[in-house]
Amino acid sequence: MDAPAYRTFAVEVSRVQRLCPSFVRITFSGDDLVGFGACGADQRIKVVLPAPGTTAAHLVETCRGWGDDWYPHWLRAPEDSRPLLRTYTVRAARPSRGEVDVDFVLHGTGSAPGHGSGPASRWAAGARTGDRLVVVGPDRPGQGRAWGREWAPPPGGRLLLAGDETAVPAVCAVLEALEPEAALRTVALLEVPCPEDALQPVASGGAQVRWLPRRGPLGEAPHGSLLVGAVASLLAGQRPVALDRRDAQDDDVDLDLLWDVPEAVGSGDLYAWVAGEAGVVRDVRRLVKAAGLPKASLAAMGYWRAGRTEAA
């Protein structure tokens, strides 16, 4: 199947549901979304926010003529009025009803310093029914990376999903889509700000889901420390191997560019999907590689970097 074109979808907030202290689910609706190309699992889209000093009405009007040539139009827009782009995971899509759910992390309730005041988080915290917005996504359904999907495990073998709170929506969507036999081979390790953030997927089919709240009776653990420790404990029984020179060079890559997903997924005893803050993902990636996992069986994605916001 040919790769889809990406286009803008004018949407309206039809439902706001506070799931727990750190997550809010926002349902976007609109006639445009009947043509949205749902892909499932960890599918990514762009949420388009008004530039500072502009309105949602101006945003919708600005994006209306972009069509599937949206990115060059966005680049040509004056910087002081250029809409803001942020990447999010589709938590659920119902194109026949013209609806897409996106779970937003409300930073500032235990998240890492430097990641507590982003424009998307602020927008989501104040979102109300009837608010207008724009999202960018594929124009027809399909499967694969062209649709913004990275989850592609080989048949058989164990499955490991590991991430911080920004990876929780994708991991929950993956767990809900697992076949029962695959779920029994799956472990998910999820670090979140507080115990109340332990969301339960609609169905996990017997997968082991371990929630790792940073906030506890003795204070708050550093961001990523619990996740790295849990992965290390899980892999303790694996036969350790030395990283080769190429792997060591890979680990020195600029964290802003940490998006290491195999083009062709290998076969083996374990497939690992890791996402979240780039420095934490790098540390988990090193552990998994040192345990002997081949590069073709590891998807490592830096969703964000502490102290920085996403530009596009």
Which pLDDT score, from 0 to 100, does residue 218 have? 83
Termini Cα distance of the chain: 27
Comma-separated ranges of CATH 2.40.30.10 domains in the chain: 6-138
Share of the chain above pLDDT 70, in %: 88
Distance separating alpha carbons of residues 61 and 123, to the nearest angstrom: 19
Could you tell me how far CA 54 lies from the centroid of its own chain? 27
Among residues 161, 153, 183, the alpha carbon closest in space to that of 268 is found at: 153
**How distant, in Å, are the alpha carbons of 36, 37, 132 from that of 96?**
9, 11, 20
Please give the average per-residue pLDDT across 152-166, as a whole number.
Answer: 93
Structure tokens belonging to residue 36: 């949205």
Which pLDDT score, from 0 to 100, does residue 243 have? 41
Share of the chain above pLDDT 90, in %: 68
Which pLDDT score, from 0 to 100, does residue 248 have? 44
pLDDT tens digits, one per residue of 83-131? 999 999 999 999 999 999 999 999 754 444 444 468 999 999 999 999 9
Residue 192 pLDDT > 50: yes
Residue 82 pLDDT > 50: yes
Between 110 and 191, residue with greater pLDDT: 191
Class of 6-138 in CATH: mainly beta
Residue 246 pLDDT > 60: no
- Among the four given CATH numbers 3.90.1150.10, 3.40.50.1970, 3.40.50.10860, 3.40.50.80, the one describing domain 150-304: 3.40.50.80
- The set of residues, in sequence order, having a beta carbon less than 8 Å from that of 57 and lying 6+ positions away, is 132
Would strands 186-192 and 99-105 be described as parallel, antiparallel, or unpaired?
unpaired
Which pLDDT score, from 0 to 100, does residue 311 have? 45
Which pLDDT score, from 0 to 100, does residue 39 have? 94
Comma-separated ranges of CATH 3.40.50.80 domains in the chain: 150-304
Q: How confident is the model at residue 292 (pLDDT cuts 50, 70, 90)?
A: confident
Please give the average per-residue pLDDT across 56-69, as a whole number.
Answer: 87
Between 241 and 171, residue with greater pLDDT: 171
Which pLDDT score, from 0 to 100, does residue 250 have? 55
Which pLDDT score, from 0 to 100, does residue 219 have? 86
Cα 233-176-102 angle, rounded to 5 deg = 100
Which pLDDT score, from 0 to 100, does residue 309 have? 56
pLDDT tens digits, one per residue of 261-281? 988 776 778 999 999 999 999
Between 1 and 212, residue with greater pLDDT: 212
Structure tokens belonging to residue 287: 């552990």
